[in-house]
């Protein structure tokens, strides 16, 4: 497996471990969190950060200041990615792609246990095609030297943590898959999914795909109206659609994209493992659909993004100080306060900007702004994977679970 793919799964797994008390995958968690912090600290060029800013960025990205930050900074120094001084740190210019490659290096140098290596490998395997439990045992025993009981324990624990998903096909049979299922060979898998749906469901999914092709990113309300609640939840549960959320004091605002929208311009989950491009797409869509012209609604997306990608400040506008705070936390952008309560911003990670622009340019800008929340600050982002998992485990009816399992089995046996 390429280092970039390994690193992407380490970031994915670290975020899953973060919300559990499990300590069986410490090397996975450490490598993934090291990448998350390195991404927050670094830009495309060498930069200096004060100790206070480092602590603030660590806190904003879920890194515990006392128990995790010192060890991660020590490792980043060892990897020659940062230098520590009396007043702060110097950070090398690192692209988002390079960040996750460094995660893989940190992981391999930590002498990971066999079950930790299996956690990465199995997640990647079931992102390509759903697999039945019985298919795993020989591979886990042969490739990772796990006993039959250890293999069974591993599958149970790893799926409970969320490294990959599982659904019961029958009392004696379970199927495993991953939310990244449609990021590889998406066209053939989507066709297999369409073939397994009823005629009305096929119509709903086809119409939604057309909307996403036209606009790149649409509000969740439009998508649910198109497909119906039950089909929408089924599509989200298996990862056929992505739902990203931006949040502020007035609530969460959900936007739908297609995994295929990103896979057109990237070749694996590695290219946006940290969800930075998705966060930028969601924030820009918010700026195009929820903001008003008086506070700085985005009117010319392509011109705006090309200037940002070129390294220039854009603005000033009131909205810049409010709509992109989540991107400040992740050091995707830098915001500068101007006079009269206005703000300007510049892009710190051009590679992220290029991917976000490609996704949005593939479709058109959503028509017209909504009058909702004209002054609310966007200060939180929830990525597709977390939204998908919460949907799968909240208010799931037996009929929906049965439908998801059946669809996965059809995908497993499909010819692609």
The reply to whether 37 falls in a domain is: yes
My answer on whether 153 and 81 are in the same domain is: no
My answer on whether 155 and 263 are in the same domain is: no
Give the pLDDT band (50/70/90) at residue 157: very high
Backbone angles phi, psi at 382, to 5 degrees: -120, 120
- List Cα–Cα distances, 352 to 191, 208, 318, 319, in angstroms: 29, 26, 23, 21
pLDDT digits (tens, 9 = 90+) for 94-138: 888 888 899 999 999 999 999 999 999 999 888 877 888 887 788
Q: Who contacts 405 (Cβ-Cβ below 8 Å, separation ≥6)?
A: 167, 168, 169, 175
Closest CA to 359 of 412, 302, 416: 302
Distance CA 88, CA 54 (A): 8
Query: What is the arrangement of strands in the sheet containing 131-132, beginning at the earlier edge strand?
Result: 131-132, 173-177, 165-170
The reply to whether 278 falls in a domain is: yes
Give the pLDDT band (50/70/90) at residue 294: low
Distance CA 260, CA 184 (A): 9
Distance CA 142, CA 277 (A): 38
pTM of the model: 0.75
Q: What is the pLDDT of residue 89?
A: 92
Lowest-pLDDT choice from 3-7, 224-228, 243-247, 398-402:
398-402
My answer on whether 165 and 230 are in the same domain is: no
The reply to whether 170 falls in a domain is: yes
What average pLDDT does range 183-208 have in this prediction?
74
pLDDT digits (tens, 9 = 90+) for 19-57: 888 889 999 999 999 999 999 898 888 889 999 989 988
User: Using only C-alpha atoms, what is the Rg of the chain?
Assistant: 21
pLDDT at 271 over 60: no
The reply to whether 125 falls in a domain is: no
pLDDT digits (tens, 9 = 90+) for 72-101: 999 999 999 999 988 899 998 888 888 889
Q: What is the pLDDT of residue 188?
A: 62
* Distance from chain centroid for Cα 91: 24
My answer on whether 220 and 344 are in the same domain is: yes
Contact 277, 305 (CB under 8 A): no
The reply to whether 413 falls in a domain is: no
The reply to whether 120 falls in a domain is: no
Q: Taking the CA of residue 292 as centre, how many other CA atoms within 13 Å lie in the half-sphere pointing to its CB?
A: 8
Backbone angles phi, psi at 177, to 5 degrees: -155, 180
Query: In this structure, what DSSP letter does residue 270 have?
Result: G
What average pLDDT does range 183-205 have in this prediction?
72
pLDDT digits (tens, 9 = 90+) for 200-230: 888 888 898 888 877 777 888 888 999 888 8
The reply to whether 163 falls in a domain is: yes
Q: What is the pLDDT of residue 229?
A: 87
Contact 44, 351 (CB under 8 A): yes
How many CB atoms are located within 10 Å of the residue 334 CB? 15
pLDDT digits (tens, 9 = 90+) for 365-395: 444 333 333 334 444 566 666 666 665 555 4
Distance CA 201, CA 207 (A): 10
Tally of domains in the chain: 3
Distance CA 265, CA 59 (A): 32
Q: What's the CA angle centered on 6, arms 193 and 262, to 5 degrees?
A: 45
My answer on whether 95 and 197 are in the same domain is: no
How many CB atoms are located within 10 Å of the residue 313 CB? 17
Q: Where would I find the beta strands (DSSP E) of 141-183?
A: 165-170, 173-177
Query: In this structure, what DSSP letter does residue 146 have?
Result: -
Backbone angles phi, psi at 291, to 5 degrees: -95, 160
Q: What's the CA angle centered on 244, arms 165 and 399, to 5 degrees?
A: 45
Contact 369, 280 (CB under 8 A): no
My answer on whether 145 and 237 are in the same domain is: no
Q: What is the pLDDT of residue 377?
A: 45
My answer on whether 191 and 284 are in the same domain is: yes
My answer on whether 141 and 197 are in the same domain is: no
Q: Who contacts 177 (Cβ-Cβ below 8 Å, separation ≥6)?
A: 126, 127, 130, 131, 164, 165, 166, 167, 238, 408, 411
Contact 9, 183 (CB under 8 A): no
For residue 407, whether the previous peptide bond is cis, meaning omega lies within 30 degrees of 0, is no
My answer on whether 62 and 15 are in the same domain is: yes
What rounded mean pLDDT belongs to the chain? 78
My answer on whether 151 and 257 are in the same domain is: no
Q: What is the pLDDT of residue 4?
A: 86
Q: What is the pLDDT of residue 94?
A: 86
Residue 179 is encoded by which pair of tokens? Answer: 């939310």
Q: With pLDDT > 70 as the criterion, what percentage of the chain qualifies?
A: 73
Return the higher-pLDDT residue of 351 and 267: 351
The reply to whether 10 falls in a domain is: yes
pLDDT at 236 over 70: yes
What average pLDDT does range 223-250 have in this prediction?
79
My answer on whether 147 and 222 are in the same domain is: no
- Domain stop point among 80, 112, 144: 112
Q: What is the pLDDT of residue 265?
A: 47
CATH number of the domain residue 42 falls in: 1.10.10
Q: What's the CA angle centered on 276, arms 226 and 371, to 5 degrees?
A: 50
- Domain span at residue 156 reads 131-177
My answer on whether 140 and 219 are in the same domain is: no
What average pLDDT does range 296-306 have in this prediction?
71
Distance CA 337, CA 224 (A): 39
Distance CA 119, CA 17 (A): 12
Q: What is the pLDDT of residue 369?
A: 37
């Amino acid at each position: 497996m390429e280092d970039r793919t390994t690193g992407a799964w380490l970031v994915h797994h670290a975020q899953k471990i973060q919300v559990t008390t499990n300590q069986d995958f410490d090397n996975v968690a450490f490598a993934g969190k090291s990448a998350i912090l390195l991404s927050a600290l670094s830009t495309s060029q060498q930069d200096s950060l004060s100790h206070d800013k480092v602590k603030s960025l660590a806190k904003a990205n879920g890194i515990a200041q006392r128990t995790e930050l010192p060890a991660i900074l020590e490792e980043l120094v060892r990897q020659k990615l940062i230098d520590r001084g009396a007043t702060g740190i110097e950070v090398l210019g690192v692209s988002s792609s390079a960040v996750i490659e460094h995660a893989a290096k940190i992981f391999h140098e930590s002498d990971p246990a066999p079950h930790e290596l299996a956690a990465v490998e199995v997640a990647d395997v079931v992102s390509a095609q759903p697999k039945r439990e019985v298919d795993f045992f020989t591979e886990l025993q042969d490739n990772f030297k796990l006993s039959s009981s250890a293999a069974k324990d591993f599958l149970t624990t790893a799926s409970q943590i969320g490294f990959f998903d599982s659904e019961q096909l029958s009392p004696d049979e379970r199927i495993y898959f991953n939310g990244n299922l449609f990021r590889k060979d998406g066209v053939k898998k989507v066709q297999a999914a369409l073939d397994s749906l009823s005629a009305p469901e096929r119509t709903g999914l086809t119409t939604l795909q057309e909307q996403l092709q036209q606009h790149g990113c649409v509000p969740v309300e439009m998508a649910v109206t198109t497909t119906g609640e039950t089909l929408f939840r089924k599509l989200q549960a298996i990862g056929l659609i992505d739902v990203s959320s931006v949040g502020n004091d007035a609530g969460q605002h959900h936007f739908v994209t297609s995994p295929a929208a990103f896979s057109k311009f990237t070749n694996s989950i590695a290219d946006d493992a940290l969800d930075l491009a998705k966060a930028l797409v969601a924030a820009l869509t918010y700026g195009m659909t929820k903001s008003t012209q008086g506070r700085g609604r985005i009117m010319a997306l392509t011109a705006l993004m090309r200037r940002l990608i070129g390294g220039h400040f854009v603005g000033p506008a009131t909205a810049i100080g409010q709509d992109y705070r989540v991107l400040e936390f992740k050091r995707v952008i830098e915001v500068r306060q101007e006079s009269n309560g206005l703000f300007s911003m510049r892009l710190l990670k051009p590679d992220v900007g290029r991917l976000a622009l490609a996704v949005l340019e593939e479709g058109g800008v959503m028509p017209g702004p909504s009058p909702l929340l004209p002054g609310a600050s966007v200060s939180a982002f929830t990525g597709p994977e977390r939204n998908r998992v919460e949907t799968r485990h909240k208010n799931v009816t037996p009929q929906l679970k049965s439908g998801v399992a059946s669809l996965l089995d059809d995908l497993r046996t499909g010819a692609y």
